Amino acid sequence: MDPAAAVAGMDDLVEEVLLRSPPDEPAHLSRAALVCRRWCRIVTGPGFRRRFRERHRAPPMLGFLHRPLPNVPHSGAPCGFAPTASFRPRNADLGGGRYALDSRHGRVLVGVLPSVGATSETRLAVWDPVTGERMELPEPPLARERHLFSWNSVVLCASSRDGACDHLDCSRGQFLVVVCGHNHSVAVCLRLLFRGWGMDNPTMITYLRQSDKRAVLTGDVIRSWLQ
């Protein structure tokens, strides 16, 4: 038998070869997936992403998300992704007036820019730039708190709080969106839990209202972000 064909027919050896694909050239793996169905199954199979990340450790820079300065809506390009490699995100049209607000572990939070004294409308959505999926979020009830000084929002892996996740393969799992706003005397914090992509409405797990903005307790990750 042809030696190359013999290797190509052994799943574990094909995986060993594909695990050594250059991480800063994602086109390499995309093309490998198009070689045949079996190779596609190996690349997209359970655990491949984790093993790939373990092998290459620090993820490569594929590009960066940018947005205008707060309160200066026209200070940035309308497109929110500037590529530094061959990768191009899918479904990158975020909808008029929306920008990337936050990004972690493969998910991007988009919405209108939070700005001082401005509207409390957020138009939040979570976007996966690789698959192009986008989940529109329900409008958080920030308008209840009048005269909000400012608000901001983050997207987190749902397991972040316990340190239970190494984030090597969690981009398809549960995630949290936290929206916080404050004026001079009140801080509000809203946490929304999503059970993964393609699920129905998120569960609103807490809606906190505190009189002292520095005393909002929503776990270590959020607390450090607030301070």
Query: Which residues are at the interface with other proteins (CB under 8 A)?
Result: 2-8, 10, 12-13, 16-22, 25-28, 30-39, 54-57, 86-88, 90
Closest contact distance (angstroms) between CB of 86 and other proteins is: 6
Closest to other proteins by CB, 26 vs 68, is: 26
Q: Which residue has the tokens 């892996």?
A: 157
- CB neighbour list of residue 57: distance below 8 Å, 6 or more residues apart: none
Closest to other proteins by CB, 88 vs 147, is: 88
Closest contact distance (angstroms) between CB of 211 and other proteins is: 48
Closest to other proteins by CB, 39 vs 151, is: 39
Closest contact distance (angstroms) between CB of 60 and other proteins is: 13
Closest to other proteins by CB, 102 vs 169, is: 169
Closest to other proteins by CB, 36 vs 208, is: 36
Closest contact distance (angstroms) between CB of 163 and other proteins is: 19
Closest to other proteins by CB, 168 vs 193, is: 168
Torsion of CA 42, 43, 46, 47, to 10 degrees: 110
| Whole-Å CA distances, 144 to 59, 77, 138 | 41, 32, 15
- The phi-psi region of residue 115 (left if phi > 0; otherwise alpha if psi is between -120 and 50; otherwise beta) is beta
Closest contact distance (angstroms) between CB of 105 and other proteins is: 19
Which string of b and e fits 180-202 if b means at least 16 CB within 10 Å?
bbbbeebbbbbbbebeebeeeeb
If one counts every other C-beta atom within 10 angstroms of the C-beta of residue 106, the result is: 19
Which string of b and e fits 3-14 if b means at least 16 CB within 10 Å?
eeeeebeeeeeb
Closest contact distance (angstroms) between CB of 62 and other proteins is: 10
Max CA-CA distance within the chain? 77
